[in-house]
Structure 1
Amino acid sequence: MITLLMLGDSLVEWGDWQRFLPGVAVVNRGLAGEMTGELAARLHDEMAACPDPDAVLVQSGTNNLLFGDLYFPYIFETMLPRLRHSYPHQPILVCSLTPMPIVPAADLAQVNQGLARATAAVANGHFLDLVGPFTERCLPITLPGFLDDQVHLSSRGYQVWADEISRALARLFPDRTAG
């Protein structure tokens, strides 16, 4: 079984990961309402509490973006090397932000490009671009990926995200069951 440390905001915290990622032991360290700077501030404690995961996943910035902060990806440029130092061999997966209906597409593209750059600068960093899968598999009326607040994920949205995580884990750990 793969142990996955998941760091992030309410999207991580509220996920039913046992349901959506069977065969993965998720250490859920999501915190609702959190901004990326707050995650960076608690990073040391999180790494101490989970010293040896097989992989680390970071999903952060939703709240920053909702408050108009397009520069939070720069925090990843300091946060990801800290993760790499503590977890020298584990893959670090960074998730793009999802295409929330209430966020301008240009803003989303800008921050996701910054997240991708920060991820590429770290050894064994893997960027999971969720925009395509959400655009293809979540239709506003028939298969909505978001709840009515247009930010939090529906069961469909979580399934799409979990499928992308599962695919990434299967590539990274081909000899182990990832769900």
Structure 2
Amino acid sequence: MIKLLMLGDSLVEWGDWEKHLPGAAVINRGIAGEMTEELSARLMDEIEDCPDPDAVLVQSGTNNLLMGYMFFPAIFTTMMQRLRLCYPQTPLILCSLTPMPIVAPQEIEQVNRELVQVATTTENCVFLDLVGPFNEQCLPITQPGFLADQVHLSTRGYQVWAGAISHCLTELFPKRYRG
């Protein structure tokens, strides 16, 4: 079983990962309401608490974007480099922001372009694009990906995200991961 450290905000914290990712032992370190700079501030404590994950997934920035703080992707540059230094061989997975209906698509596109750049300049880091899967697999009326607040994920949203994670883990660990 793959040991997956998940760092992020409420989207990570509120996920039923045991149900959605049965092939992974998820260490859920999501904190509701957290901004990216707060995740960065607690990063070393998280690394000390989980010294040997098989993979690390980072999802953050939703709250920054909702507060109008568009410059948070710069924080990812140093945060991902610290993860790389502390976990030199461990695959890192950097998630895009989801296409939240409450946020203008061009803002999400801008931030995600910057996150792609962070992932491509970080060794052994995969950018996990969630926009495509959400746009393809979540239908506003019959299979909505979001709750009424248009930010938090519905069961369908978590299924789609978990599917993308599972696919990524299968590619990273073809002989070890059985999602």
Give the TM-score of the pair, scaled to structure 1: 0.99
Separation of aligned partners in 2, 1:171 and 1:21:
15
Structure 1 stretches of at least 4 aligned residues deviating more than 6 Å after TM superposition: none
Identity %: 66
The residue matched to 1:56 in structure 2 has which SS? strand
Give the TM-score of the pair, scaled to structure 2: 0.99
CA drift of 1:177 comes to 2.5
TM-align CA RMSD: 0.5
Count residues with an aligned counterpart: 179
What's 2:5 paired with?
5
- Which string of whole-angstrom CA distances, capped at 9 and with x for unpartnered residues, describes residues 146-177 of structure 1? 00000000000000000000000000000013
What's 2:31 paired with?
31
Separation of aligned partners in 1, 2:28 and 2:73:
22
The residue matched to 1:27 in structure 2 has which SS? strand
CA drift of 1:178 comes to 3.4
Separation of aligned partners in 1, 2:70 and 2:116:
14
Please tell me the residue identity of whatever aligns with 2:29: R
Separation of aligned partners in 2, 1:35 and 1:44:
16
- Which string of whole-angstrom CA distances, capped at 9 and with x for unpartnered residues, describes residues 94-113 of structure 1? 00000000000110000001
What's 1:177 paired with?
177
What's 1:123 paired with?
123
Separation of aligned partners in 2, 1:6 and 1:68:
25
- Which string of whole-angstrom CA distances, capped at 9 and with x for unpartnered residues, describes residues 30-49 of structure 1? 00000000000000000000
Unmatched runs of 5 consecutive residues or more in structure 1: none
Q: How does 1:107-118 map to 2 (within 5 A)?
A: 107-118=107-118
What's 1:163 paired with?
163
1:91 aligns with 2:91: yes
8 A Cα contact 1:21 1:178, kept in partner: no
Separation of aligned partners in 1, 2:38 and 2:6:
15
